[in-house]
Amino acid sequence: MIRSVSSILNHKKVVPFVFLLPFLIIFLVFKVYPVILAVLMSFQNFQGLQNQQWVGLTNYQNVFRLVRFSQALTNTTVYTVGTLLVLIPLPLILAVLLNSRRVFQSTLFRTLLFLPALTSLVVAGTVFRLILAENGFLNLFLSSTFGIQPPPRWLEVADLALPSLILVATWRWTGINILYFNSGLVNIPRELYEAAIIDGASPFQMFWRITLPLLRPTTLFVVVLSIIGGYQVFVEPFILYRGGGGPGDGGLTMALLIYRTAFTSSNFGTAAAMGVILAAIIFVFSLIQFRFFGVFSKED
């Protein structure tokens, strides 16, 4: 008996499935099944956790009629575009400079700029709640150095919510994006630059004609990653505005709205419908990624 079990377990066709099984079970039970369940829930109305009935597309109609939803969608889109405008050019230029052999101790600087990425987003949120407070350090700095009076109330004005969130994102993600750009940069052959120098190219020309074109795959990769991450932004506004959407819902994001709809309003069907819409948006951007990179060639 024992012999036959072990011979089955060692059979050429069985072995890979034994190794796959643990991952596959967890994957099917806690990823595939909940996705299906969430889609089903988006067509249901919940009275408490047990009591649900089918309501067709009602949840979706409600979602699109919701003023807060369109505001969350707009906020999230503006936030995502804002992070792209900062978190692509800034890390790209910093990475190029750090890779140019014209900076002493470039590894040290790469490490220091990376440090914020080690903090949890919760901590990033708490620290910036303190720094952005009305009488916090940033305003002291702005008023004493640049004479800005009265200092902006970063956390209390609706229009300043997204800039504040983008500031936190810049602090938290610049170092990581530098790493991505750096791994793209080290793959550009040095000979190209040597040849360009012989041809009398200026550093600026080399950046436009060699670095940028050859860095295109990395740049696109970081762009898509930032879009997908941007649309899912949750913890930063959740902490900065203590679980709410901030003043006038100026910091209300899609993910935050889903969380509040589910766990504050217990509106599970509507939350699921919002989740499906968010997934659809991210799906479209991911398709663009796969179109550009192929599914598996993430790094080249």
Partner 1 sequence: MAERTLDAIQVRAERRQRRRIPFDKILLTLFFVIMAIGFVFPLYWMVISSLRPGGRIFVDAFELFPSQLSLDSYHSLFTEEPFGRWIINSILQTGGFALTALFLSTTAGYALAKFKFRGRNLLFTLIIVSQMIPFHLLIVSLFLMIIQLGLVENYFGAIIPIAASPIGLFFVRQYMLSIDDEMLNAARVDGANEYQIFFSIVLPNARPAIATLFILFSLEYWNNLLWPLIVFRQADNMPLAVGINRLINQYQQSYDLVMAGSTLATLPIIILFLFLRRQVMEGIAATGTGMK
What is the DSSP code (8-state) at residue 46?
Answer: E
In whole angstroms, the minimum distance from the beta carbon of 56 to partner 1 comes to 18
Contact call for residue 254 and partner 1 (CB under 8 A): yes
Contact call for residue 208 and partner 1 (CB under 8 A): no
Contact call for residue 188 and partner 1 (CB under 8 A): no
| 223's tokens | 């762009």
In whole angstroms, the minimum distance from the beta carbon of 250 to partner 1 comes to 19
> What span, in angstroms and rounded, lies between the C-alpha atoms of 36 and 43?
12
The string of DSSP letters for 160-204 reads HHHHHHHHHHHHHHHHHHHHHHHHHHTTS-HHHHHHHHHTT--HH
In whole angstroms, the minimum distance from the beta carbon of 209 to partner 1 comes to 21
Member of 115, 146, 149, 199 binding partner 1 (CB under 8 A): 115
Binding mask 2-31 for partner 1 (x = CB under 8 A): ----x--xx--x-xxxxxx-xxx-xx--xx
The residue among 207 and 234 lying less far from partner 1, judged by its C-beta, is 234
Residue type, 121: L
Member of 76, 164, 182, 211 binding partner 1 (CB under 8 A): 182
Q: Are 247 and 156 a contacting pair, CB within 8 Å?
A: yes
The residue among 67 and 118 lying less far from partner 1, judged by its C-beta, is 118
Under rule CB under 8 A, which residues in 134-163 are in contact with partner 1? 135-137, 140, 144
Ramachandran category for residue 104: left, alpha or beta (phi over 0 → left; psi -120 to 50 → alpha):
beta
Grouping H, G, I as helix, E, B as strand and the rest as coil, residue 10 is: coil
Member of 86, 229, 247, 288 binding partner 1 (CB under 8 A): 229
Contact call for residue 57 and partner 1 (CB under 8 A): no
> What span, in angstroms and rounded, lies between the C-alpha atoms of 37 and 31?
10
Q: Are 96 and 185 a contacting pair, CB within 8 Å?
A: yes
Segment contacting partner 1 by CB under 8 A, of 54-62, 69-77, 190-198, 251-259:
251-259
In whole angstroms, the minimum distance from the beta carbon of 294 to partner 1 comes to 11
